[in-house]
Structure 1
Amino acid sequence: MGWAMTIGDDAALQLVISLHRLTRSLRRAAAAGGIGPTQLAVLALLTQQGPSRIGEIAAWVPCSQPTATSAVLGLESAGLIRREPDPTDGRASRILATERGAAALADIARGEAEVLAKRLASLRPDEIRRLAEAGPLLRRLAEAAD
């Protein structure tokens, strides 16, 4: 029986809701440079996973294929991603983040981190330490699904 089993579904639900609210509020406060939430998810995915086809992007984000196509078109017109021929299928293309796209994603993350750092200043030192200790655990949880 793991920890998640002992805290119950309600506590897990509250944690999920809190994480979503925190993420959304950081993105709003940091201003993502005109990049929408789906575009941001696509850019982050391409930066982490590497070149991908539209269908893969739609499955990973997750969103519909038309939504993924729309996000890709917007990012492509901004020069944040580009297409290349798929080496395994000459009829298809793969999408990849450009250097400019990776830099934009890093800038957005830095902006969110600055907002979070300001908010952390309102907490007690022991609370800040506990949150810092939770970071690696949250990363492990995020990567467990991959």
Structure 2
Amino acid sequence: MTTSVTNQDALQLVVAVHRLVRSLRQSASVRRLQPTQLLVLAELAAQGPMRIGEIAVRALCSQPTATTVVTGLESSGLVRREADPADGRATIVELTGAGRDTIVSLAHGEAELLCERLSRLSDEERDHVRSVTPLLRRLADPPRAR
């Protein structure tokens, strides 16, 4: 049996996910970062050093926005730019120790808060949330070119 998803269903999911993430971030008692800054740090932590163009693709923003975000993170000591060994004209961006500590601290703080909220659910509801996590990860990945 195939069930179609309406735009309203999708909108409700988008709103719920945004509200959840926003409530976790507002409640966390750690360093405040803009959503794009957090996304850039998370991508660098997960994927390793990369060029600004790749950061823009992964953070789903324009290259000028990625440059601005990286400049702000760099001035805060969370990332640094290095010459790209493969192309001396280009630079790569990498996390600093402070950047890695920040992303880990944010992730742990938000995870602790979410764990507390999940504990209020029934066993069946928690199992359901766990089963949906891999699907949400797949939906979060940008579509690949065919």
**What TM-score results when the alignment is normalised by the length of structure 1?**
0.83
| CA–CA separation in structure 2 for the residues paired with 1:144 and 1:68 | 17
The one-letter amino acid paired with 1:75 is: L
Kindly report which structure 2 residues correspond to 1:41-120, keeping only aligned pairs within 5 A, or say none: 41-120=39-118
Does the C-alpha gap of structure 1 residues 53 and 113 become closer, same or farther in structure 2, counting only changes over 3 Å?
same
| Aligned-residue RMSD, C-alpha | 2.2
Task: Give 1 or 2: higher helix fraction.
Answer: 1
Does the C-alpha gap of structure 1 residues 142 and 54 become closer, same or farther in structure 2, counting only changes over 3 Å?
same
Cα deviation for residue 112 of structure 1 reads: 0.5
CA deviations over 1:22-51 (Å, ceiling 9, x no partner): 111111111440322221111111112222
| Equivalences, count | 144
**What TM-score results when the alignment is normalised by the length of structure 2?**
0.83
Cα deviation for residue 113 of structure 1 reads: 0.9
Cα deviation for residue 66 of structure 1 reads: 3.0
Alignment gaps of 5+ in structure 1: none
| CA–CA separation in structure 2 for the residues paired with 1:18 and 1:78 | 31
Task: Specify which of 2, 6, 9 is matched with residue 8 of structure 1.
Answer: 6
Cα deviation for residue 96 of structure 1 reads: 1.0
* 1:132 equivalenced with 2:130 (yes/no): yes
Cα deviation for residue 141 of structure 1 reads: 3.0
Runs of 4+ with >3 A deviation: 143-146
| CA–CA separation in structure 2 for the residues paired with 1:63 and 1:9 | 23
| CA–CA separation in structure 2 for the residues paired with 1:102 and 1:62 | 21
Does the C-alpha gap of structure 1 residues 63 and 142 become closer, same or farther in structure 2, counting only changes over 3 Å?
closer
